[in-house]
Amino acid sequence: MVQDAETRTRIETDSLGELPIPADAYWGIHTARALENFPISKRPISVYPELITALAMVKQASARANRQIGALDAERADLIDRAAEQVIAGRHHDQFVVGVIQGGAGTSTNMNANEVITNIALELAGRPKGDYAFLSPIDHTNRSQSTNDVYPTAIKVGLSLSLGSLLDELGLLRQAFLDKAVEFRDVLKVGRTQLQDAVPMTLGQEFHGFASTLGADQMRLRENAYLLHEINMGATAIGTGITTHPDYGAAVLRHLREISGLDLETAVDLVESTSDTGSFMSFSSSLKRNAIKLSKICNDLRLLSSGPQAGFGEINLPARQAGSSIMPGKVNPVIPEVVNQVAFAVAGADTTVTMAVEGGQLQLNAFEPVIAHSIFQSITWMRQAMWTLRVNCVEGITANRDRLGAMVGSSVGVITALTPFIGYAAAAALAKTALLTRRNVADLVVEAGLMGREEVAKQLSPARLSGLEAVTAAIPIIDTTAHPQPE
């Protein structure tokens, strides 16, 4: 390593030759070559901080394991350990600069981590960056490792860490819908199937359904999270464990479990685990399920709030911004709309993951970088989408109670609740009359002599109409032939 005081660079060497590296950079020549080769995404891996944290955890666990089994001396192992701890604590993330999309099956990411942690360690030792004769990114920081076990393990650990915050936000969004379900528990409305009027329900029931949907997704995501807990540390290049000490695998697993707090396990078949990326496909699929169901909820919110005069107009979404540069006063459902778009992106990312998993060949899948990018992006965007949906939309939703009440009162759907008492034929005739005359259903039933006013009011109470109070018995069906039908 040669320092150039005038240009403020240092010269580093690899098997391909020499390159000048900025003197203050913690990354080195392998990272520099990746920056030249992969100017694709214009997004560095540091946009996913959980991945950077996970890489540092793997390097820290490896240093401790190597020291434990005697594969690395105490001084160097301690320096690597301390340097990795700084990265885990959130420092130097800006030094992880390689692009998220890269060739080489993640080698550039692994080397970026090796170089940054090594140069932090050199500083801790009072030595200059690039003094690899004392502490090498490959011979020491990468001891007993290969990109092919470090990278997939770091992705799994990083996704597990990221999933925790996603589940937290999903839980808060679910609770916001539950709170609205309580607030709207006594607000009757007309339910709809195939966009046509159906039978009554409460707005609270509708919002409780949204909450239940999200609760089911919480369970599915937690179940699929366990697929990420099987790692292949100790596999090295293809799963045979070449260059590793026989005790390394068990040692690194123990240390990584302790550092990450995750219930990790080493795969039984390291060759299979190194080449198979099916767990990423299953996990991505569960994210897509959550995104698509959340998008459906947002579709419903947009429909229910449509108008406000010529649409459903049943609920009001918080006004977040002017909706038109030409139509004064127009306000659009921008928050549900952005969540819809996130769902579209997640669905596309899942297709990318599926194709990348299929594209693996023989003992390795070279396309894990795009798998990692796709899933981390999905989690990041979904977490932010859930936050804005909760804070900027759901928590501020109000009900148009007068409009909902009027719609229920004039809806022929309420007559369904009376069919056990007056029979289907009479109910159908009255429904037809109500549609033609736009008269109140209850009034027509009473006028026809089919039921008394008090009994009609009882059966058409909000509790009965919404199913919250069960109808335990029906009065005998009245002989409708004995009564003239309304014209």
Judged by DSSP in three states, 428 sits in helix
Q: State how far the Cα of 125 lies from the Cα of 119, in Å rounded to an integer.
A: 10
Name which of 28, 174, 180 is nearest 114 in CA terms: 28
Which residues pair with residue 464 across a beta bridge? none
Which amino acid does the sequence have at 442? A
Judged by DSSP in three states, 220 sits in helix
324 counts as catalytic: yes
Residues in the chain: 487
Count Cβ atoms below 10 Å from residue 257 Cβ, excluding itself.
16
DSSP assignment string, 26-42: S--HHHHHHHHH--SSS
Q: Is 330 exposed, middle or buried (0-12, 13-18, 19+ CB in 10 A)?
A: exposed
Q: Which residue in this structure is represented by tokens 């900025």?
A: 22
224: left (phi > 0), else alpha (psi -120 to 50), else beta? alpha
Terminal alpha carbon distance of the chain: 100
Instruction: Please report, for the chain, how many H helices and E strands are present, in that order.
Output: 17, 9
Q: Dihedrals φ, ψ of 367, to 5°?
A: -105, 20
Judged by DSSP in three states, 193 sits in strand
Q: Which of the following is catalytic: 324, 374, 378, 410?
A: 324
DSSP assignment string, 363-422: TB-TTHHHHHHHHHHHHHHHHHHHHHHHHHTGGG-EE-HHHHHHHHHT-GGGGGGGHHHH
Count Cβ atoms below 10 Å from residue 39 Cβ, excluding itself.
10
- The pair of three-digit structure tokens given for residue 302, joined into one six-digit string: 């947009």
Name which of 364, 485, 400, 365 is nearest 434 in CA terms: 485
DSSP state of 398: E
Q: Is 140 exposed, middle or buried (0-12, 13-18, 19+ CB in 10 A)?
A: buried
Name which of 39, 23, 20, 9 is nearest 108 in CA terms: 39
**Residues annotated as catalytic (active site), given as ranges:** 324
